[in-house]
Structure 1
């Protein structure tokens, strides 16, 4: 069924709502009979959308051998040795320069996240109060390409009206300086480098996309559907193909109804071969302005949802004013006397603006405007190296353009209307972003995001309701390929903006509040600010690398008085949870070490079906024992709450094993088992070999005696505190099972320490097992270390 595309969209002979919305006239029993009325040509009934098709996650069926167990630890998955670290598959994106992307596929799937959202649906706002959500976006529209931002010629009366009635964001940023990554940020609330969309998908008809939105990413559509929302996408998709190896269609991302293209199309008379509708190629001719064609379908969807009394999510992504840009005669005529390229560009934007007007009018006629969040933005800055006759897009005096991380490449028009909440117009100077859409909508619905899958966006709801700046964290950017002279990374922190490549290249620091055109580099004058922001960007970049490898960095405890934020890395297996969990504690003599040393191991545990985490803890000598055990207990409680599992095992290496044993033996937080890898078990008599002591002194200037003193705050090994902090002194009947790994010639922790623990456990009747490795080794390194994960899995499955 073909909808009229040329008549009624700009008004009609009778003026009835049917003419504007292309529906049967609501004021009569049948279609409007007024002469020339487009709605009178036929009664248009929106068909029920087909069930959204889901592509396989790519994880099921990977391992062919499964053994069942009655253990609460679930199903044992036996991996071939080569699968311990899964390589990138044929659809895995190539990593940008400087990244640590390995293509590991152990990750949370969308379906798991959606089940979490559905579980809290009862706590969300009642259906009558749930706002409709509309995300409108232009393609390559610059900051200065609106009337309300001061363009001297361009006519955008409807965007101007939105700016006068709602929130006008003066520092609104696209998630990236190019198309596809920004679109991913709109749907996920996460930076696109977390899921491997590094740049805009290129190519023409028939070419495969470079990147596809991964199935493990939860989209706003998938989260809202279980809450009763109808979901629709209309216009440019650009997040994967609709068939083939890079398939990632709107249906795969949770949209019930869609009329979309894989890539750009001309902005007048687009080819129907580029459009698909609900999983099938469009075969009817598409004539006229492309923005109007898109809005035709979007209004049909909106009308159907309102008439069905269903809240809705409509994502409307126009192609205008992206090249190849054209305008119909009606809009070209508005810019007579200007160069042809300018007439086309401005005409296309004014035509888009008219469709925004149609949408706003229809919402009012349907009585849906009051409780609809209507967002508007652009996906990046204007095309071209500079504003010219051939590239008329305006950055509004800002430095840089599309592909650049200077302001002109990422600061875009940003508007929000929501009459039920925004009673008076306001201009907002706070830093806001397309990544903020998802957390803001969830906040409005009373749905808490999954803390095991951190977002880069923040909720703007407090700001929307009239509060202060809600962004409690900096906004980070990274891009690849073409940058038009800007560095590849940027960090926005209030007034400060750092641009850097995180290498020896000169950094750039700007005070955006006083120098929004970025003309004065303050890096030499503010070295401490540069150092701090570079460190923050380094941490954020590593977090993105980990996310692509299926490992998320989350905060599990904050000590405000000490200004300490404790984090853990979490690897979640595929499939429905809850999953048994393993909490890993790093070594480093209680005063050094990093949770990142377990990245490979927790990914391997996740591949076996365990939710695996590696937690940092407060280090000595700044923090004395037993605060480390307090942190371990907090990490256990965090996993128990947010992973929804009671089956948690502790695993530690070296000093981390010592803490794991003490935490398990204390009984303060129940654990299912504890795994000790090269852990000191009796501090009264633990010393390194001479060669190991010498290496320790060369590396740190300390001895093993000094490490114990730093931890406990007492000198000598005969103090009662040393005995109390020795796991062998805590052994008693009823403790959780213990698995011990020990190298026979360990130079840092002698085998005698493991023998002492084995003897104490045997005398107390505690279930235990010791696995001895030949030769020299320690913690996670040495001959036989590859057995640690499979032997641990076997041990836990057997409990």
Structure 2
């Protein structure tokens, strides 16, 4: 009786602690890589060098081998991840770059509720560390979109170390080399290359690193700064449920590798590939530090972890491999939209398992909300709660079809069949048809052999497109 009385007193004095002890709402971390190709991590046998942190998530969780994003470039893809909805539903199909980020009309529409807002409204502490790219003006600021804390930048990219590029090897795109010729030349620790035919964008122009809304001077290599801030948030938030969105700008250009990592990969002769390897290894070590902080604070078993890329890798720009997939960033072939996609939740999701049915970044919102016991408005999401599918409670595929509309380009996956128009010409679609069950690389166009199926899928794509605002 005395023990019961003591417990009652403690519960009365510390009701929140007692609630946490009984409910144990899970934390959620979403790791988002930028421009990471399908084959560029240890979960694929084709990969050239190790990424042990990414591999640990695969080993302890579920590998989603047919994981898709809704666009093959950054901002629209992130809009769908944040809302659980095809970005075409709210007219957000373009990818703002440079000064367009500061257009007051450009950003994730404020009418759309974000994943962070759902978590915040349910009592979670929320933070974004890294890249936003969903609006660069005040009304689109992350802290007005559900994030309690923000450290990062608002535009599409940022230098990892600003000029004069101390402590890093840098590779920059240029139209002409310093002597006026074309090709590649290394001067000091900076390599200049004309292979892309254009110059490196002014990533940092009007795009400071911010803490909340205030510019800060950041001395650390930016991936390391993301590590520091993510770990700090976890330490401060360990006594309450949290949603942490760790949005790396790695491995997005500009190519800049810290010298300690450059030495690690000195055996790679191609300087472009060596810098890429250094950037990815740095990001993987960054993720490892975040995972260690979870473990140290006893949060590992009560944290749902998601890892994916925002789109396929740009091969010529970064040396990214999307093997065995066709295409790259910007395409609606598989290489542009099928990405590394992993989920880990110790004790809830089967460790070391593989799920081969198509899933989508829109599924992250309903899945993580369901894990947290948060009810989202019915019919609002294009995603599906994946938990019953990943635990074999549900045997049917999560999606009957997936839809893409990206300016002039279009695609539809229905079962194993994939309809693609990858043409840039608005009034001249060039429809192709592939069977992904035996042609993952999309090398055999079956449009002429299967005209009835082709027409059926075109009509279905047009039906879905008709639900969207006109372009």
TM range (shorter): 0.7 to 0.9
Residues 692-726 of structure 1 show CA distances to partners (whole Å, capped at 9, x for unaligned) of: xxxxxxxxxxxxxxxxxxxxxxxxxxxxxxxxxxx
* 1:543, distance to aligned residue in structure 2 (A): 1.3
Gap change, CA 1:212 and 1:273, over 3 Å in 2: closer
**Structural mapping, 1:646-665, within 5 Å:** none
Counterpart in 1 of 2:296? 365
Residues of 2 paired with 1:291 and 1:233: CA distance? 14
Matched, 1:197 2:128: no
Counterpart in 1 of 2:193? none
Matched, 1:227 2:122: yes
Residues 565-609 of structure 1 show CA distances to partners (whole Å, capped at 9, x for unaligned) of: xxxxxxxxxxxxxxxxxxxxxxxxxxxxxxxxxxxxxxxxxxxxx
Q: Is the 8 A contact 1:156 1:350 kept in 2?
A: yes
Counterpart in 1 of 2:140? 248
Q: Is the 8 A contact 2:67 2:358 kept in 1?
A: yes
Residues 359-395 of structure 1 show CA distances to partners (whole Å, capped at 9, x for unaligned) of: 1111111111111111011111112xxx45x631111
Counterpart in 2 of 1:262? 154
Gap change, CA 1:127 and 1:139, over 3 Å in 2: farther
Structure 1 window deviating more from structure 2 (288-297 vs 404-413): it is 288-297
Gap change, CA 1:518 and 1:508, over 3 Å in 2: same
* 1:130, distance to aligned residue in structure 2 (A): 1.9
* 1:449, distance to aligned residue in structure 2 (A): 3.0
Counterpart in 2 of 1:489? 410
* 1:503, distance to aligned residue in structure 2 (A): 6.6
Matched, 1:179 2:74: yes
* 1:199, distance to aligned residue in structure 2 (A): 2.2
Gap change, CA 1:127 and 1:480, over 3 Å in 2: farther
Residues of 2 paired with 1:242 and 1:299: CA distance? 27
Structure 2 residue aligned with 1:149, among 44, 51, 55?
A: 44
TM-score normalised per structure 2: 0.81
> What SS is found at the alignment partner of 1:274?
coil
Gap change, CA 1:378 and 1:209, over 3 Å in 2: farther
Q: Is the 8 A contact 2:102 2:137 kept in 1?
A: no
Gap change, CA 1:509 and 1:126, over 3 Å in 2: farther
Structure ranking higher on relative contact order (CA contacts 8 Å, 6+ apart): 2
Structure 2 residue aligned with 1:135, among 30, 34, 38?
A: 30
Residues 420-455 of structure 1 show CA distances to partners (whole Å, capped at 9, x for unaligned) of: 30242111111111111011122223444323x532
Counterpart in 1 of 2:459? 535
Residues 709-744 of structure 1 show CA distances to partners (whole Å, capped at 9, x for unaligned) of: xxxxxxxxxxxxxxxxxxxxxxxxxxxxxxxxxxxx
Residues of 2 paired with 1:537 and 1:222: CA distance? 31
Residues 458-483 of structure 1 show CA distances to partners (whole Å, capped at 9, x for unaligned) of: 111112223434424311111127xx
Counterpart in 1 of 2:319? 392
Residues 38-67 of structure 1 show CA distances to partners (whole Å, capped at 9, x for unaligned) of: xxxxxxxxxxxxxxxxxxxxxxxxxxxxxx
Residues of 2 paired with 1:175 and 1:205: CA distance? 21
Q: Is the 8 A contact 1:222 1:253 kept in 2?
A: yes
Counterpart in 2 of 1:316? 246
Counterpart in 1 of 2:385? 459
> What SS is found at the alignment partner of 2:256?
coil
Alignment RMSD, CA only? 2.4
Q: Is the 8 A contact 2:102 2:136 kept in 1?
A: no
* 1:127, distance to aligned residue in structure 2 (A): 7.4
Counterpart in 1 of 2:55? 160
> What SS is found at the alignment partner of 1:327?
strand
Structure 2 residue aligned with 1:521, among 441, 445, 465?
A: 445
Matched, 1:341 2:272: yes
Structure 1 residue aligned with 2:434, among 510, 520, 524?
A: 510
Residues of 2 paired with 1:508 and 1:423: CA distance? 37
Gap change, CA 1:400 and 1:370, over 3 Å in 2: same
Structure 2 residue aligned with 1:405, among 316, 327, 332?
A: 332
Q: Is the 8 A contact 1:196 1:211 kept in 2?
A: no
Unaligned runs of 5+ in 2: 1-19, 164-203
Residues of 1 paired with 2:427 and 2:436: CA distance? 23
Residues of 2 paired with 1:289 and 1:420: CA distance? 35
* 1:507, distance to aligned residue in structure 2 (A): 1.8
Residues of 1 paired with 2:410 and 2:22: CA distance? 42
Counterpart in 2 of 1:427? 354
Residues of 2 paired with 1:206 and 1:410: CA distance? 23
* 1:225, distance to aligned residue in structure 2 (A): 1.3
Q: Is the 8 A contact 1:363 1:369 kept in 2?
A: yes
* 1:175, distance to aligned residue in structure 2 (A): 1.9
Q: Is the 8 A contact 1:460 1:470 kept in 2?
A: no
Residues of 1 paired with 2:235 and 2:248: CA distance? 19
* 1:273, distance to aligned residue in structure 2 (A): 5.9
Q: Is the 8 A contact 1:202 1:210 kept in 2?
A: no
Matched, 1:445 2:372: yes
Counterpart in 1 of 2:286? 355
Counterpart in 2 of 1:239? 134
Residues 201-243 of structure 1 show CA distances to partners (whole Å, capped at 9, x for unaligned) of: 1015985477301111011111111211001011000000143
Residues of 2 paired with 1:357 and 1:380: CA distance? 22
Residues of 1 paired with 2:21 and 2:399: CA distance? 29
Q: Is the 8 A contact 2:103 2:137 kept in 1?
A: no
Q: Is the 8 A contact 1:134 1:313 kept in 2?
A: yes
> What SS is found at the alignment partner of 1:233?
strand
Gap change, CA 1:516 and 1:441, over 3 Å in 2: same
Gap change, CA 1:373 and 1:163, over 3 Å in 2: same
**Structural mapping, 1:745-756, within 5 Å:** none
Residues 281-326 of structure 1 show CA distances to partners (whole Å, capped at 9, x for unaligned) of: 22x3x123211101211111111111xx211110110011111021
